[in-house]
Amino acid sequence: MKKVLILGSKGMLGQELVYVLEKDENYEIIGWDREEINVMNFEELRNRINDMWPDIIYNAVAYNAVDACEESEEEYQKAKKLNGEYPGELAKIAKKLDAILVHYSTDYVFDGKRPKYPEGKNPGCCGSGCPGCMYKGAEETLDYYAYHEDDVPRPISRYGRTKLQGEREVAKHAKDHYIIRLSKLFGKPAKSESGKKSFFDIMLDLGVKSDTVKAVDGEMSKFTYAPDLARTSKEIVENKLSNGIYHVANEGAATWYDGAVALFKIAKLSTEVTSVPPEEFPRAADRPTSSVLKVTKIKNLRHYTDALEEYLTQRGK
């Protein structure tokens, strides 16, 4: 029986990792969240993990307040410690115990300015997901500017920089490790006290109160369904794939607007979605205009609309 430690076990992703792994009788699962430990206390972290001696560690803890850390120096320091330094400490602990470390990162490590056209080819799309563009959503066009696992990261926000630092610390200090990048996570709201709802739940709440909702037609990327990500993470480890960076996200690149339209269609709600440019929702941190993650090392996940349908059925719409 393998001993598995899940850090951030009450978060949106962490709770799904617990669910997926607990069903497998080959694993003994230990889940820690804020109530069990403050992972920023590195000494306590080291002592307690050493005592437990897990075979596999999944790290779903992160600082995710993208705008707060852009606005405040104090928040930025917290983000640097949690997203940047802590994964390195964890990597050192995992290495010493010969444990596999699975760590999560983000499409926000990219700047969204990937050269759009391969030599001699112009697919006709600028890749920005401009409202009304005839190429928008065409998978073959999106492929030209999707980010591969080995593309050079160039974050444009403080959050992105801290996550990139975390990736580098893990790669530097861990032995057996996987760094999994995802984007636009959705699923059941986190169980933790300050647990956030995903975009789709926020939209559904708004859609119940109003006939019309506004959604930004920008920031083209992929949605990632937390249960699909949890299952895929387990498979990556069990199949003993090579160490390194993996992109894991559901098929179907979409802007927030595209996602909202798909949501109300699947939920069979007549809520009208108005497309608005990103400038109408000014936020402190810059986001990549397009950060579609190309999944090249594992087989493609199902389309996000199929995953969304399952989520809405389970949620009771």
Ligand X SMILES: NC(=O)c1ccc[n+]([C@@H]2O[C@H](COP(=O)([O-])OP(=O)(O)OC[C@H]3O[C@@H](n4cnc5c(N)ncnc54)[C@H](OP(=O)(O)O)[C@@H]3O)[C@@H](O)[C@H]2O)c1
Residues of this chain that bind ligand X (CB under 6 A): 8, 10-14, 33-34, 37-40, 60-62, 64, 82, 104, 106, 182-185, 190, 192-195
Six token digits for residue 230: 């949890």
Angle between the 86-97 and 42-52 helix axes, to the nearest 10 degrees?
30
Q: Which is nearer to ligand X, 111 or 125 (CB)?
A: 111
Cβ 107 to ligand X, closest distance in Å?
A: 6
Rounded distance between C-alpha atoms, residue 102 and residue 17, angstroms? 11
**Residue 141 or 250 with smaller CB distance to ligand X:** 250
Q: Which residue is nearest to ligand X (CB)?
A: 11
Burial class (CB in 10 A: 0-12, 13-18, 19+), 117: middle
32/141 with CB nearer ligand X: 32
**Nearer of residues 2 and 81 to ligand X, judged by Cβ:** 81
Closest residue by Cα to residue 102 from 54, 160, 135, 37: 54
Q: How far is CA 280 from the centre of its chain?
A: 25
CB of 189 to ligand X, least distance (A): 8
| Residues 6 or more apart whose Cβ sits within 8 Å of residue 283 | 66, 67
- Closer CB to ligand X, 123 or 189, in the complex: 189
- Which residue, 38 or 274, is less far from ligand X as judged by CB? 38
* Comparison of 8 and 288: residue with beta carbon closer to ligand X: 8
Length of the chain: 317
DSSP string, 49-76: HHHH--SEEEE------TTHHHH-HHHH
HSE-up (13 A, CA, CB side) for residue 199: 25
Q: Is 7 in contact with 58 (CB distance < 8 Å)? A: yes
* Rounded-to-10 torsion of CA 199, 205, 207, 211: -140
**CA pair distance 110, 285, nearest whole angstrom:** 14
Q: How far is the CB of 215 from ligand X (least distance, A)?
A: 16
Calculate the CA 266 to chain-centre distance: 23
User: Taking the complex as a whole, how short is the minimal distance between the CB of residue 198 and ligand X, in angstroms?
Assistant: 7
Please say which residue, 57 or 82, places its beta carbon nearer to ligand X.
Answer: 82
Distance in Å, CB of 317 to ligand X, minimum: 22
Considering the complex, what minimum distance in angstroms separates the CB of residue 109 from ligand X?
Answer: 10
CB of 134 to ligand X, least distance (A): 29
Residue 33 Cβ vs ligand X, minimum distance, rounded to whole Å: 5
In the complex with ligand X, the residue whose CB is nearer, 39 or 203, is: 39
Tokens of 315: 């949620």
Report, in Å, the least distance between residue 196 CB and ligand X: 6
Closest listed residue to residue 238, CA positions, set 53, 54, 102, 104: 102
